[in-house]
Amino acid sequence: MLKQPLVTIITATYNSAATLADTLESVARQTYPAIEHLVIDGASTDNTGAIAARYPHVSRFVSEPDKGLYDAMNKGIQLAKGEIIAILNSDDFYAQPTVIEKVVETFEKTAALAVYADLQYVDGENTAKIVRNWVAGDYDSQLFYYGWMPPHPSFFVKRQLYEQCGVFDTSFRYAADYELMLRFLLRYQAPTAYVPEVAVKMRTGGQSNASFKNRWKANREDRRAWDVNGLTPYFFTIPLKPFRKIGQFLIK
């Protein structure tokens, strides 16, 4: 019997006691057995550490000051032992117990170095209430030119991509995930596969969408993401990107 590839899941936390249990519970319920779960904490002052300690599947809990979310993710990548690496935020959770199992099957059946799936935004208080459906659709790298991107929480990557193409660029405050996916998938044309199922449920909110000012800053960073990768978007690429979200509210 072939050895199952280890999957490392990285969860960055900071004062995440209100939502972390849902995140950890969703990982603990996964049917796939070979999981390393790293919780990278930014020196929380609430009960984040105590909650993480209640879950024996958590492989490592690191708590120390950091330089923000993407710095914490980079720390996790450096510590990761898995062949496949996933990022699961501390207010997100896997939609089904079979998410990791299906993602690994997709990696094994294809030549993909990256796999993504769909995502649902849910109400922050009532997570059974769906607010937005992000159906990513079949992969075509040219879709980036039309404002498309895959949902980052449902983005799974072979560790060799991080080793060969780099980690998160922490000079980006709002759009480091977009820049990284643009780099991996469009600049370096990494083979990519799509799982047409909801993998992650995300509570509404988020730093880049918290205000019009932050959304404006994120759009400017989106444009810079193309520049740093030596890519040239169409004139409508960046303005179109936020408008693609409108349809997500219509899908029920």
CA-nearest of 219, 206, 199 to 133 is 199
Residue 131: which H helix or E strand, with range? strand 130-134
CB 16 within 8 A of CB 48: yes
CATH of domain 7-249: 3.90.550.10
- The reported pLDDT for the residue numbered 207 is 47
d(CA 149, CA 249): 17
Q: CA-CA distance, 136 to 163, in Å (whole number)? A: 26
Quick one: tokens of 210?
A: 């918290």
How, if at all, do strands 114-122 and 155-158 pair? antiparallel
Q: Is 204 exposed, middle or buried (0-12, 13-18, 19+ CB in 10 A)?
A: middle
The span from the CA of 204 to the CA of 191, in Å, is 30
Residues with Cβ < 8 Å from 57, sequence gap 6 or more?
Answer: 24, 27, 28, 35, 37
Two tokens, residue 33: 């057995």
Structure confidence at residue 215 as a pLDDT band (50, 70, 90): low
Q: Which of 143, 151, 158 is nearest to 196 (CA)?
A: 151
Residue 245 is predicted with a pLDDT of 80
* Residues composing the chain: 252
Across the chain, mean pLDDT equals 94
User: Two tokens at 185?
Assistant: 């998938």
**Residue-range domain boundaries for the chain:** 7-249
Q: Convert the pLDDT of each residue in 63-91 to its tens digit.
A: 999 999 999 999 999 999 999 999 999 99
**How distant is the alpha carbon of residue 128 from its chain centre?**
21
Does this model's pTM top 0.85? My answer is yes
pLDDT in tens, 12-65: 999 999 999 999 999 999 999 999 999 999 999 999 999 999 999 999 999 999
